[in-house]
Structure 1
């Protein structure tokens, strides 16, 4: 925060430093040349640099008059520099920028259980759009000037301006209180570094990373990534299925979890279940139009297309197909 403030008000800080330097030099100059006390030297310096014209504390010697003349000339330059710095800051909107920065910092520091998105390129933007759709709190870490200009105009996106490979920036983004991190940097080496740093700072963090080279996949896993996504590979497979299985692919697109107006496929963790319950009992108890197409057991075993009489326990995860309003009802009733 201090470095940001100095960056924006460098001229003002330098001017104030000169001003205090003039007062310091003037005070000790009068003490040395005119044998004034410290208080007399300080008072004489103030009435001199402020040009109020109250008169000398004591009659000045020729050396004192020469010193006073130099002090007046130096104070003119210093005051002019400070005034120019303040005017420039006001006209350029720097005060507005730093106030916005303080507001951003305060909002980010209050977050907990949020997601950090490193990089705001095409993949990063797509990730944030999905997170916004689900009202998921997130912070973007981005250093590109063009993307930062865009983010500054978005009142609903929290961001940190800087390189995600810099540990200080992801700490500022709240890495220690976050529950997940998505790194979409174009360089696999940078993503490896981000994964290593993030895992060290927060061992319980869920880390999802982008990879460009297939050879980097194992390295990213070793660096601490829980999931490694290769956008080019995924995109290629998607295009191939449009040729080989066009209708299946279109059907899966209809189940897109990022479409709020259609049938959705989502996961729901059963947190509020006191005893085992069957799928039939669960669905009928809420009179909802949903279909449970899979279960992830506590043993990490997946049960696909479970029978309606299959039993489910607290803490198990359901894969639910249905309209969002019904899924929201299910989440409100059985999940945290």
Structure 2
């Protein structure tokens, strides 16, 4: 019986932990506002209503709560009663917990975004030209694009992370024949696509997928045979 009851509880706890991990920033913000209000009202009550202070109003209590919970502690407003110091202690501990959660969550978010960009796992936006392939022709094409199209944003699609990345070029890592990889590279909003992969069959597959994702895309592809040239044009390549 205990095992039967324990399984739903375990699943509930697991789901709650997942929600907590996903919405940590929202949780911290939703906790912060009520805690500021509660601590401000408590401080005002114990210091003014109970303690009889005349130099403190409600707005000053809110200011004190924010400053204390942020652990700044200017010292311009300090508790003068025993219960005021109790509230101050609670506010400091609660503030440290909430602000630490917020800071670590934001740091984690920015680190995750940076890691995605460095490893090529992210999604590119407002890309003008997408280059697919890791051959020397691709690198030469990128350098030519940078020279002849200054200011254009270039997205590079690779199957694995390159050792050296040209300046001002963003990249994504993944299968170039995969629709999701091309979408992450910004193919839907791009104006040009350059396909310079060594395999003709893979190039045809890439052109077909890219044309399906963006009907207005101008596609330049490299072929290794006359038959591949015909197939690439039929697939949707503008220039072969």
**Higher strand fraction: Structure 1 or Structure 2?**
1
**Higher helix fraction: Structure 1 or Structure 2?**
2
Which structure carries more relative contact order (alpha carbon 8 Å, separation 6+)? 2
